[in-house]
Amino acid sequence: MSGLNLDDFATLIERPDAAVRRAAEERGTHRTHPRPGALGRLDELGEWLAAAQGSVPVRPVERPKVLLFAGDHGVASLGVSAGPKAGAAELVRATLDGTSCAAVLARRAGVEVRIVDMAVDCDPAELPAEVTRHRVRRGAGRIDAEDALTLAEAEEAFRTGMAIADEEADSGTDLVVLGDLSVGGTTAAGVLIGALCGTDASVVTGRGAFGIDDLAWMRKCAAIRDALRRARPVLGDQVQLLATVGGADLAAMTGFLLQSAVRRTPVILDGVVTAACALVGQRVAFRAPDWWLAGQRSGDPAQGKALDRMALNPLLDQGVTVGEGTGALLALPLVQAAAALAAELPVGS
């Protein structure tokens, strides 16, 4: 049994301010041009942001941050991923060098990227100290046959995610774009979503961030099937669940999402990995998803299951599977536009 008292989250997490949202809706009805409702979902986004901020008119989103949790997963050794042979370290280096998709988009948007190595399988000296300082371990266990982490490691990773949420809130970050840099992470995500939604392995087995062929898909489906057998007995303890079939990066993201909701920091989710962590977070505190946006629909069947369970409607549908926060970054300008329009369009008396 985990030593973390997750029940506190259900008490501490409140919904975005409903009275403020109603005030934002009322303000929109007095807009002189365009007519109320003409901006479609942008109006809804602006009202959501106002409620999250507790402010009418809504404040511009001026200090967003891209936050990427990194880790390797032992299940990748089964040939379930088409990720780089060098593992997550290669993804981290590409992002640091500015050559990854997320790095290009973040640079174009003028948004800072923060990488947190939780379980990259490389010598920590190969990466900058500010990236590796939170690392819990190298890689994760092969979840079809063994636990990803010890319970103590899962708790450490979860608490690290909470601490990072506090750091970002205290530094003035007003919106987080959340993503992962992982190899094998979509397999772990599929297990978590399958376990929490009570579905068979085939329903939650996707092609992964890098795309896999049919034979690899069958191997991935078998790995998820075997891991689901190990996950179901521990569904009542979310930290134990993350230790059994998750990983340090997923445990940290779950802690981050829950503490961000406590601190009233809005988060844009990326793909299936962040969706899986969010679904675990919803099991802990049912109000927590009110603080999250789904950036885009990737087409991964497990992501679709998780988003439906949380009643999160993706902002975009571009089928971007690459992960790394890319899909969520594509949605960021839409969120910023909604805030600007809600704040700056003229309102009559």
Residue ranges covered by each domain of the chain: 14-59+339-344, 64-333
Q: Where do we find the tokens 């290009």?
A: 104
Residues 191, 65: contact at Cβ < 8 Å? no
Instruction: Convert the pLDDT of each residue in 147-160 to its tens digit.
Output: 999 999 999 999 99
Q: Where do we find the tokens 């774009």?
A: 177
Q: Is the pLDDT of residue 2 over 80?
A: no
Give me 260's structure tokens: 């961000």
Q: Which CATH architecture has domain 64-333?
A: 3-Layer(aba) Sandwich (3.40)
C-alpha span between 58 and 339 (Å, rounded): 6
- E-strand spans in 270-347? 292-294
C-alpha span between 287 and 283 (Å, rounded): 10
Q: What is the pLDDT of residue 275?
A: 98
Q: What is the mean pLDDT of residues 242-263?
A: 98
Instruction: Convert the pLDDT of each residue in 61-78 to its tens digit.
Output: 999 999 999 999 999 999
pTM (whole model) above 0.85: yes
Q: What is the mean pLDDT of residues 93-106?
A: 97
Catalytic residues: 324
